[in-house]
């Protein structure tokens, strides 16, 4: 039996835990102390609730971050310094160049591994392959419902209550998008990390009052040629800011522990 450590106990973490494949189980969940009683009850005491990964005396087969960019910044180094594998869904944290460098250096020195999950998009393997031949441009556009943008910086850039048609309210780099919209723009960071990097990847964010789905459009040009991807995903019912596919990418990483596949 493979055991994972989950970082976080919000909507996405609970979705992943409910879908863990056969042969994989949660051994530890790192969460705020106010969640510990709920965790103990949900898992009948079979899962240890922690406030920090360092409280774990054993070694998980995989540490799965499904919490926030803040959690990556707070716990990431401690995890990889123990030689553990850390799979990250909140990839926007790596828009902090200093944090990204520290994590990479810690992985080299301590034989840990940082895994960037594909999250809410597809085609990251092709994008990474295209990068080997040279990329000219990578453009990403995200289109979501007003509900998906509530509680974010979007509310300062556009009136979400008054918008009557699809409107782009942000254009900039992936680094800017990830920093300004930490709960919404992890996809921009994921694309950047597989492609041209945080500053050269161009991002447009759009609100569309006529949709309940999250639409991601990626256009890539390079020496290999050109490709376009459009993906229309359903948000989690429990959290409209979170993509169902993002949760499933974390589940797939867990499945690779038991089926011999690769963790991307």
3-class secondary-structure state, position 64? strand
Q: Which residues lie below 8 Å from residue 15, measured CB to CB, with a gap of 6+?
A: 236, 238, 244, 247
Nearest to 141 by CA among 110, 114, 116, 166: 166
Say whether 216 is catalytic: yes
- Distance CA(85)–CA(147), nearest Å, equals 34
Greatest alpha-carbon span in the chain: 55
Closest to 62 measured CA to CA, from 39, 84, 46:
84
What secondary structure letter does DSSP report for 41? Answer: H
Strands (E), the chain: 2-7, 24-30, 48-50, 62-65, 85-88, 113-116, 135-144, 167-173, 202-207, 214-222, 225-233, 235-236, 239-243
Question: Which residues are catalytic, by number?
Answer: 216
């Amino acid at each position: 039996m493979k055991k994972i450590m989950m970082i976080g106990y919000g909507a996405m973490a609970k979705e992943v835990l409910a879908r863990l494949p056969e042969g994989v189980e949660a051994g530890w969940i790192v969460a705020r102390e106010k969640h510990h009683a709920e965790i103990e009850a949900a898992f009948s005491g079979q899962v240890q609730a922690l406030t920090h990964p360092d409280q774990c005396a054993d070694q998980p087969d995989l540490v799965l971050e499904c919490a926030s960019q803040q959690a990556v910044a707070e716990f990431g180094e401690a995890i990889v310094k123990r030689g553990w594998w850390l799979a990250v869904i909140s990839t926007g944290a790596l828009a902090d160049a200093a944090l990204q460098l520290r994590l990479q250096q810690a992985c080299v020195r301590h034989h840990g591994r940082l895994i960037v999950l594909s999250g809410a998009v597809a085609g990251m393997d092709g994008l990474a392959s295209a990068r080997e031949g040279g990329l000219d441009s990578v453009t990403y556009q995200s289109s979501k419902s007003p509900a998906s943008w509530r509680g974010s910086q979007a509310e300062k850039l556009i009136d979400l209550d008054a918008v009557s048609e699809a409107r782009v309210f942000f254009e900039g780099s992936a680094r800017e998008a990830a920093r300004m919209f930490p709960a919404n723009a992890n996809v921009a960071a994921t694309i950047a990390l597989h492609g041209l990097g945080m500053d050269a990847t161009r991002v447009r964010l759009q609100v569309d009052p006529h949709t309940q789905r999250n639409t991601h459009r990626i256009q890539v040009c390079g020496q290999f040629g050109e490709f376009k991807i459009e993906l229309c995903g359903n948000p989690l019912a429990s959290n409209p800011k979170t993509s169902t596919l993002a949760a499933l990418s974390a589940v797939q990483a867990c499945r690779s522990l038991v089926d011999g596949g690769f963790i991307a």
